[in-house]
């Protein structure tokens, strides 16, 4: 598979690394464009791929053209490249809607995907959809590329992409914030920082794995841990007083509205 990357940011590099690691393509069949010379040099040295500053030069090389740029650069980049009908566009640009991509690129074979940062270690989740013009072979390409980074979920309605952005796309940051907060709370009650670090992350990761492996809903597992009048019940009551559930809903809704506005 010949793949052209327009943009070599963090998520683009995660995809590039996964593609090479899984043997979906070779460094000789991958081209990357980026505005940063330093970034181009790092990608060339790190992965042995061909790099260039010219987006059109790179775009014309790929059977799959991955758009991995920032949303505010999209209009400028679309004006710079011309595609062949047989090429597949795979966009991972937050908020960039399919009709915007199709009009701006004058191209109809487009996949829109939203991966998340755990893709950097092959444990991400990507939600994606495709135009009706995308062939079964091209869907197979998209499936294999996104699967290389972790779990992939195909949806047939683009409206769910912005919703997924607010949940799985931004979700790792919510988790990181909770890890930070729990560790800070542990230190606040007197635990040494090193011990807090040893306790917090394994606790949260283990709890996630328990949900996965037990097959039980989180509410049931929470009930199993919570003894009436006990320490856990006391802690959970403080979360309730602070409006924890409502705050999470507000945060996800804010992220969703922002994702929608980026595609306006």
Q: How far is CA 170 from the centre of its chain?
A: 8
For the segment 207-226, what is each residue's pLDDT rounded down to a tens digit? 999 999 999 999 999 999 99
* Residue 193 scores a pLDDT above 90: yes
* Residue 158 scores a pLDDT above 60: yes
pLDDT on residue 264? 56
pLDDT on residue 8? 76
Give the start-to-end residue ranges of the domains of the chain. 3-157, 171-262
Q: From 3.40.50.880, 3.30.70.260, 3.40.50.720, 3.40.50.2300, which CATH number describes the 3-157 domain?
A: 3.40.50.720
Task: Read off the pLDDT of each residue in 114-142 and give the average, rounded to a whole number.
Answer: 95
pLDDT on residue 256? 94
For the segment 12-31, what is each residue's pLDDT rounded down to a tens digit? 999 999 999 999 999 999 99
Looking at domain 171-262, what is its CATH homologous superfamily? ProC C-terminal domain-like (1.10.3730.10)
The pTM for the full model equals 0.88
Distance between CA atoms of residues 117 and 167, nearest Å = 12
**Mean pLDDT over each residue of the chain, to the nearest integer:** 94
How many residues are given for the chain?
264
Distance between CA atoms of residues 259 and 264, nearest Å = 9
């Amino acid at each position: 598979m010949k793949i052209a990357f327009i943009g070599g940011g963090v998520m683009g590099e995660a995809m590039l690394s996964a593609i090479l690691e899984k043997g979906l393509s070779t460094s000789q069949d991958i081209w990357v464009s980026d505005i940063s010379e330093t970034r181009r040099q790092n990608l060339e040295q790190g992965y042995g791929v061909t790099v260039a500053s010219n987006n059109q030069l790179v775009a014309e090389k790929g059977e799959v053209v991955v758009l991995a740029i920032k949303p505010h650069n999209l209009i400028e980049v679309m004006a710079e490249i011309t595609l062949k009908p047989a090429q597949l566009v795979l966009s991972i640009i937050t908020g960039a809607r399919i009709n915007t991509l199709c009009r701006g690129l004058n191209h109809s074979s487009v996949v829109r995907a939203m991966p998340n940062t755990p893709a950097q270690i092959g444990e991400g989740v990507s939600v994606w959809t495709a135009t009706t013009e995308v062939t079964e072979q091209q869907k197979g390409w998209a499936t294999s590329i996104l699967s290389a980074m972790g779990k992939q979920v195909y949806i047939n309605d683009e409206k769910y992409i912005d919703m997924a952005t607010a949940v799985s796309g931004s979700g790792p940051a919510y988790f990181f914030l909770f890890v930070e907060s729990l560790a800070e709370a542990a230190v606040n009650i007197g635990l040494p920082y090193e011990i807090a670090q040893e306790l917090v992350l394994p606790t949260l990761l283990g709890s996630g794995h328990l949900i996965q492996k037990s097959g039980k809903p989180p509410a049931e597992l929470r009930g199993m841990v919570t003894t009436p009048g006990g320490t856990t019940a006391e802690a959970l009551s403080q979360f309730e007083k602070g409006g924890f559930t409502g705050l999470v809903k507000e945060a996800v809704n804010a992220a969703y509205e922002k994702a929608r506005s980026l595609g306006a």
